[in-house]
Structure 1
Amino acid sequence: MVDDKLDFIELRELALDSARVARACGCGIDRYTEWTRIPVDFPQAQMRTAGTLSEDPYSEPTFAEYHPQGTSYWSAGAPIAPRYYPYNRCTVQQCSVCGRACLTYVEAGGYYVEPRIRALDPALLVDAPEPD
């Protein structure tokens, strides 16, 4: 397992490689265009950790979101801005069968935890400045 922090260039390269995959795969990563609960039948065994977007495991990252075009957390077109929530809590995973990449994190609500997934789409990556 890799716990390395990915910089924006590495993240973009992974996203571009993922976008080039044309074949069907049981991982279904290409279907998760917005944040989605990870299904119980998701093939986690064929995933490998490519890195993390988390800056420092000992500090609380911001909950500020980045939506300059009026999108929301749930929007398929929402930007993927690594310094903003929830991306600043994500692990980047890559399917060992097809090579597609996705973002995952665990949403921790008041009474539940829910693992979530979103495809890593290079068209949505934004190297947005640090939040205020």
Structure 2
Amino acid sequence: MIPVLNAQELLALTSEQHDQQCSNCASHDFSCWETILSTFDRYSLKTVGTLQHPDAEEIWDEHHPNGTTIWSENAPIAVGFHPYNRCTVDQCPECSTVYLRYTEYGGYYVDERIRVVKPELITQAP
């Protein structure tokens, strides 16, 4: 069973990240939500947790108190809000970089998205 992580646990996980990323992780920025490209080895990542609490009601609201958008590099990582509340937490076994991943299901497409976790963006939103 994959553990459900809260904001503090996600922050603690980022403390394990190395100063230098491995070649796979350094090959893409992923500072904001991006489609996972075929040039990135997503299968090398290990799922270490989820932010999707099984008992939580579906929340589609986003948290952008400073006028950011979902696509902003400085958008807060607000665990209880969309899309974070639908994410798995993955970590690179080589350099310990932490990523958030979720799948966007549109009307005619499926898009796997990824974002690197920057600890300074993790927030305890109400």
Would you call these one fold, judging by a TM-score over 0.5? yes
Give 1:54-69 correspondences, 5 Å limit.
Answer: 54-56=52-54, 60-69=57-66
Q: What is the count of residue pairs matched by the alignment? A: 126
- Answer yes or no: is the 8 Å Cα contact 1:61–1:89 preserved in 2: no
1:61 Cα deviation from its structure 2 partner = 1.8
Cross-structure match for 1:14: 13
SS in 1 for 2:65: coil
Q: Which of 88, 93, 109 lines up with 2:90 in the alignment?
A: 93
How large is the Cα RMSD of the aligned pairs? 1.8
SS at match of 1:27: helix
List alignment gaps of at least 5 residues for structure 1.
none
Corresponding position: 1:35 with 2:27: no
Deviation, 1:31, is 1.0
Aligned to 1:48: 46
Question: TM-score, structure 2 length as denominator?
Answer: 0.91
**Match for 2:26: what amino acid?**
G
Q: Which residue of 2 aligns with 1:26?
A: 24
**Are the equivalent residues in 1 in contact too, given 2:49–2:90 (CA < 8 A)?**
yes
Code of the aligned partner of 1:40: S
Which SS does the other structure have where 1:31 is aligned? Answer: coil
Query: Could you tell me which of 41, 53, 71 is aligned with 2:68?
Result: 71
Shift of 1:98: 1.0
- Residue 108 of structure 1 corresponds to 105
Contact 1:67 1:78 in 2 (8 A): yes
Deviations 1:21-61 (A, max 9, x none): 324421237711000000012212321011000011x7652
Q: Shift of residue 107 of structure 1?
A: 0.6
User: How far, CA to CA, are the matches of 1:80 and 1:17 in structure 2?
Assistant: 18
Moved more, 84-93 or 20-29: 20-29
* Percent identity (aligned): 39
* C-alpha distance in 2 between matches for 1:95 and 1:24: 9
TM superposition score normalised by structure 1: 0.87
SS at match of 2:77: coil
Alignment partner, residue 127 of structure 1: 124
